[in-house]
Amino acid sequence: MSELRFEQVSVRFGGRHGMTAVDGVDLTVPTGQVVGLVGESGSGKSTLARAAAGLTPLTGGQILFNGQPLRPKRGERRPLQMVFQDPHSSLNPRMSIGESIAEGIPRAGRGGAAGRRSEVQRLLGLVGLDPQRAFSYPGQMSGGQLQRVALARALAGQPEVIIADEITSALDVSVQGTVLNLVRDLQRELNLSMLFISHNLAVVRYVADAIAVMYLGRIVEQGPAEQILSDPQHPYTKDLLAAVPSHRSPSLTPVNADPAVQAVNDAEPTDPHHLPSGCRYHLRCPIGPLVLPGRDICREVDPASDGNRQAAACHFVGELLTSGKAGIL
């Protein structure tokens, strides 16, 4: 059992004129599953990750690990670990690789210096690095290798949940694949639960069992990966999917014949400091009030996901499937 559950989690920065980066998020990472979290910059996905790791205090709600709040004591095993985006910044440049990894090994139940050394060797082997690398310093290694080290350090804490925050976006494309393969293998081998955050839908699609889509601090849609990808319910998810380029059919998304639809397609991202009333997506929504007349409800009422299959927070989920399809695709 290693389930991570977010219950009505909110994170707010700044005082009166601050902004709510995460707003009432409910999300569950089931045991041994990978949940992919996608969304644009400013959607709050990294804040959610840092909150889960205890690096950012919550303003509201709670984060439960197996039904209990996470409060690890010193020297104990840390069941939740995080891997960061930039490995050059997430490893201390003045500590050897071995020292950095050894730091993550819990003190309890480890047999002294020799035990630590052999554990470091084991972990380096686990992430496919030469155990001799323990004596190298971060400056002597490439980005891909460093990200492996960062993974090894996270694994040193014997975690059950790993939070991976954009772990491949700072890497070169030829190296990205090795890290993704490794993450997938380790996740399956060790039966880890994982929250995998990325802005790259193709990468998320490759590793995730379930996908949650975040927009301006809210999760607007979540469900099994295949369903989200093949049958998106929320217009934002649909727009995201349409924007992903493909090897096979490399062409730009065509200009929409309807000028109103094109106008919302070209609209600026909404400023998270000045959230719109009603549905947060209505200013960019191709089936929203700016395109279809009479949809004032989107301007006025904030849609909540009402327990439907994929939990999409949209007033017109049903209609999207019928009338919406012709309008967008």
Instruction: Provide, rounded to whole angstroms, the least separation between the CB of residue 173 and other proteins.
Output: 5
Q: Which residue has the tokens 């050894």?
A: 102
* Structural contact between residues 137 and 78, judged by C-beta atoms closer than 8 angstroms: no
* Structural contact between residues 103 and 112, judged by C-beta atoms closer than 8 angstroms: no
Structural element, H or E, at residue 68: strand 68-69
Indicate the residue among 140 and 277 with the shorter CB distance to other proteins: 140
Measured CA to CA, the distance from residue 78 to residue 52 in angstroms comes to: 13
Instruction: Provide, rounded to whole angstroms, the least separation between the CB of residue 260 and other proteins.
Output: 13
Indicate the residue among 202 and 301 with the shorter CB distance to other proteins: 202
Indicate the residue among 26 and 258 with the shorter CB distance to other proteins: 258
Structural element, H or E, at residue 164: strand 161-165
Indicate the residue among 242 and 301 with the shorter CB distance to other proteins: 242
Instruction: Provide, rounded to whole angstroms, the least separation between the CB of residue 307 and other proteins.
Output: 28
Instruction: Provide, rounded to whole angstroms, the least separation between the CB of residue 114 and other proteins.
Output: 20
Indicate the residue among 136 and 297 with the shorter CB distance to other proteins: 136
Nearest to 290 by CA among 317, 263, 251: 263
Instruction: Provide, rounded to whole angstroms, the least separation between the CB of residue 145 and other proteins.
Output: 8
**Helix (H/G/I), strand (E/B), else coil: 318:** helix
Measured CA to CA, the distance from residue 299 to residue 328 in angstroms comes to: 20
Measured CA to CA, the distance from residue 24 to residue 218 in angstroms comes to: 7
